[in-house]
A and B are shown apart, each in its own frame.
Chain A
Amino acid sequence: MKLFIKFDINTICSLFLKQKLEEQNMNFTTLGFGEIELDENLSVEALETLKNDLSPFGFEVVENQKSVLVQKIKDAIIELVYMDDNNNFKSSVFLAEKLNHSYGYLSNVFSEVTYSSIENFIILQKIERAKQLMLVNEMSLTEIAFLLNYSSVAHLSTQFKNTTGITPSAFQRIIKKRRENLK
């Protein structure tokens, strides 16, 4: 015997999800397909439990949450790098305190989402700021190295070269010529 069943997958999913969330005593509103807003922030552990509960049924928490966290990490890093007096902070401590997560967790989430490390991102941002200081403020490498808390100009130069593949002076030269070209 063959039966032909017509079903609405959307309705099923919504109902199933509703049921599961209610099981965990969570208040939520459905924003649309595949997107729900929880009334309160879940702890990482709670989120992890929810993920594990849902996964056997083919549900996967789209880790928007992580992206949000990554964005927060990025914002914190930018804040740190652009702080003019940042020598007192160790970046790991700063991030952990600021975002209320262990540094290890932040680091994991970050590399999971971005395929790069927090350390790399800090360096990227520092070099970015160095570029700005170089071009906008026309500061010398010595001044920049001091401001960005590098142990020496050589250290800054090396990091610049390692990050961008070119030396600071070549970078300055290229941008200068590029601007001349545009004129």
Chain B
Amino acid sequence: MKWIPKFNSSNSLRVIFVIAVFILLFLSSIAYKHNQDLNESSKLVMHTYEINIQLERLMSAIKDAETGQRGYIITRNGRFLTPYIYSRDKVNTSFITLKKLTADNPKQQKNLQKLFGLITQRFTSFENCFKYSNPQTYDKRKLDNHMFGGRILMDNIRFQVDEMNDIEKRYQQKRLKIYDQEISLSPVFSISLFLTALIFIILSYRQISKDIKRLKIFNKKLLISSRLMAESEVIGKFSTWQWDLDLNKIDYSDNQYRLLGFKPNAFVPEKDTFLNFVHPDDKEAVAKSMEGIVNKKQLPFIYYKITLPNNEIRYFKSTGKLLTDQQGSQILLGINFDITDEHLLNIELQERNRELEKSNQELASFNHVASHDLQEPLRKIQTFISRVSDADKAVLSDSAKDYISKIEVSAKRMRVLIDDLLLFSRTNTTKKEFIKSNLNELLENAKSELTEIIDEKKATITVSKLPKLDVIPYQIEQLFINLIGNSLKYSKPDIRPEIDIVTEKVSSKDYPDLLEPNSKKFYKITFSDNGMGFDSQFKETIFILFQRLHSKTDYPGTGIGLAICKKIVENHKGHITADSILGKGSVFTVFLPE
């Protein structure tokens, strides 16, 4: 079914969509990852800052403790000891926090441990300073030592803190750098991917809209053709039906209902619905061929009768075909033709043909019998006359002698007529036995048949070589006799007749007016003479039975000779034509199939 369009794009469209979806999925996963990374890095920064702050706190607590210590040592006022005492707690708190914060970093832990050691030493040094600054236990040298040691410890602590800060910073910087790198790459990539996806989507959109447009056009065509189909079903008096074997669903075309004498969709067809309409005579045959169709996949034409609800009988012709669609489901398609009109016409035609054949046969046998049986009495008339004229003419009166000679002439003429008629009817009725014959021989026979008149008129007959053909020998001989005889008969009185017989092999397509153009080979035999000729307007009529161009007193004849020629040539599936220029001569052309 050619008219169903192929939507090739649907598959490629699918591919495009899948690719686009993948690209989008990919893009969102990248975005998600970036988000994660960002979170991570901000956490990292926070972490670093927190460590930094805690370290600064630690430092300031130590510094507070140092300031408090100094103040107390100088003033011996207990109020200065308060920051020192708090600082101790602060240091611990910060320290715990730091320990948590650096839990993931063994190096920092180690540094923290070291810092803790230093801080502990520093607080020990504070205690010692207090001890030796206490007036009760005052020892200037030891205090100086501790104070000085404290100073060095402080520097160490600061150094350690700075180092830890540095480590964090470096670590953070390294992370940020990687992050920056990643962050700086992704936008270009994402955008290009996005654009690609966009292009894909646009392309597929275009394709879809194109397909939709085509689909619309085809839908329109489909609509038109289905209407056309419905119309032509009505006009052509046929209908279609489909039977989905898998779903066991049967659809009738609108006209099918009409042909069965219903309005479209008047009932829901089932498997045996149709059979109910079939005339009882044909039911079995139709049922059988319906079953056969599934096996044979094809149904040759079946002919049967249908009885309509109003008891009218219609003649149907049906055929069907089993189709398997792409999905593999089997559908039986059928066409029914209502051939009632043709059928009735055919019957009438056959009847007429039979009548015609019968009357033809009757005519032929009548012709044969009539002329055959007419011969008998005529022959006797002639024979008796011949006996009379031989013996008794002397005794007769002159008028009686005259009557007898007139009877003789008429009887002779009747004899010629009957002989010719008989010959004509025989060219129709005798069995047509084709025998491979040498036409040269048949022509010789014809010439010897005509010897007398040829000699009498001193005619010359020139013949080019004739072929060997499958012919009815007598008939071809008769044809030659008639054609040559015709030329001799209508020769000019003062000129010796010259008859030229020329053979040529031709193809039927060279003579499309005369022969069926089926490229068959023919022998074209032309008989040309230098006789009186005839007006070329009569070139068709001279072949008609009893048509004569001359009065019978001038040229006795029956008007049968050329009709016999035509009949003979037709019996050989050939063709004969005549042409002439009045006063110059005639040409008869015979085409005989090879």
Direct contact of A and B (CB under 8 A): yes
Residues of A within 8 A of B (CB): 141, 153-154, 157-158, 161-162, 167-170, 173
**In the assembled complex, B445 has its CB within 8 A of some CB on chain A:** yes
Complexed CA–CA distance, A141 and B441 (Å) = 10
A157–B473 touching, CB < 8 Å: no
Q: Mark B436-454, 1 if CB is under 8 A from A, else 0.
A: 0110010011011001000
Task: List 7 contacting pairs A-B, 8 Å CB cutoff, sorted by A.
Answer: A154-B448, A158-B448, A161-B445, A167-B441, A167-B445, A169-B441, A173-B435
Least CB distance from B362 to A in Å reads 32
Those of B415-452 within 8 Å (CB) of chain A:
435, 437-438, 441, 444-445, 447-448, 451
* A168 to B, closest residue via Cβ: B441
Complexed CA–CA distance, A168 and B269 (Å) = 77
Complexed CA–CA distance, A159 and B290 (Å) = 73
A169–B448 touching, CB < 8 Å: no
A158–B441 touching, CB < 8 Å: no
- Chain A residues near B438: list those with CB within 8 A: 169
Complexed CA–CA distance, A127 and B435 (Å) = 24
Complexed CA–CA distance, A165 and B384 (Å) = 26
Choice from A157, A170, A173 contacting B448 with Cβ under 8 Å: A157
- Chain B residues near A169: list those with CB within 8 A: 437-438, 441, 473
- Chain B residues near A168: list those with CB within 8 A: 441
**Ranked 3 nearest A-B pairs via Cβ:** A158-B448, A154-B444, A167-B445
Complexed CA–CA distance, A161 and B10 (Å) = 90
- Chain A residues near B448: list those with CB within 8 A: 154, 157-158, 161-162
Complexed CA–CA distance, A141 and B444 (Å) = 13
* A161 to B, closest residue via Cβ: B448
Complexed CA–CA distance, A153 and B437 (Å) = 16
- Chain A residues near B451: list those with CB within 8 A: 158
Classify the interface of chain B: helix, strand, loop or mixed: helix
- Chain A residues near B441: list those with CB within 8 A: 141, 157, 167-169
Residues of B within 8 A of A (CB): 435, 437-438, 441, 444-445, 447-448, 451, 473
Least CB distance from B501 to A in Å reads 14
Complexed CA–CA distance, A141 and B437 (Å) = 14
Complexed CA–CA distance, A158 and B441 (Å) = 10
Complexed CA–CA distance, A75 and B225 (Å) = 98
- Chain A residues near B437: list those with CB within 8 A: 169
Least CB distance from A173 to B in Å reads 8
Complexed CA–CA distance, A162 and B445 (Å) = 10
Complexed CA–CA distance, A170 and B438 (Å) = 12
* A154 to B, closest residue via Cβ: B444
Least CB distance from B178 to A in Å reads 118
- Chain B residues near A173: list those with CB within 8 A: 435
Q: List 20 extra interface pairs beyond A158-B448, A169-B473, A173-B435, CB under 8 A.
A: A141-B441, A153-B444, A154-B447, A154-B448, A157-B441, A157-B444, A157-B445, A157-B448, A158-B444, A158-B451, A161-B445, A161-B448, A162-B448, A167-B441, A167-B445, A168-B441, A169-B437, A169-B438, A169-B441, A170-B473
Complexed CA–CA distance, A42 and B444 (Å) = 50
Complexed CA–CA distance, A156 and B437 (Å) = 18
Complexed CA–CA distance, A173 and B437 (Å) = 11
- Chain A residues near B447: list those with CB within 8 A: 154, 158
Least CB distance from A137 to B in Å reads 19
* B443 to A, closest residue via Cβ: A154
Complexed CA–CA distance, A173 and B445 (Å) = 15
Complexed CA–CA distance, A120 and B383 (Å) = 28
- Chain B residues near A167: list those with CB within 8 A: 441, 445
- Chain B residues near A141: list those with CB within 8 A: 441
Least CB distance from B158 to A in Å reads 148
Complexed CA–CA distance, A173 and B436 (Å) = 12
Complexed CA–CA distance, A162 and B448 (Å) = 8
Complexed CA–CA distance, A141 and B473 (Å) = 17
Complexed CA–CA distance, A88 and B437 (Å) = 35
- Chain A residues near B473: list those with CB within 8 A: 169-170
* B441 to A, closest residue via Cβ: A169
Complexed CA–CA distance, A82 and B437 (Å) = 30
Least CB distance from A61 to B in Å reads 35
* A162 to B, closest residue via Cβ: B448
Least CB distance from A133 to B in Å reads 17
Least CB distance from B437 to A in Å reads 7
Complexed CA–CA distance, A173 and B120 (Å) = 154
Least CB distance from A20 to B in Å reads 43
Complexed CA–CA distance, A162 and B473 (Å) = 18
Least CB distance from B120 to A in Å reads 150
Complexed CA–CA distance, A168 and B438 (Å) = 12
Complexed CA–CA distance, A168 and B445 (Å) = 10
Complexed CA–CA distance, A169 and B437 (Å) = 9
Least CB distance from B198 to A in Å reads 98
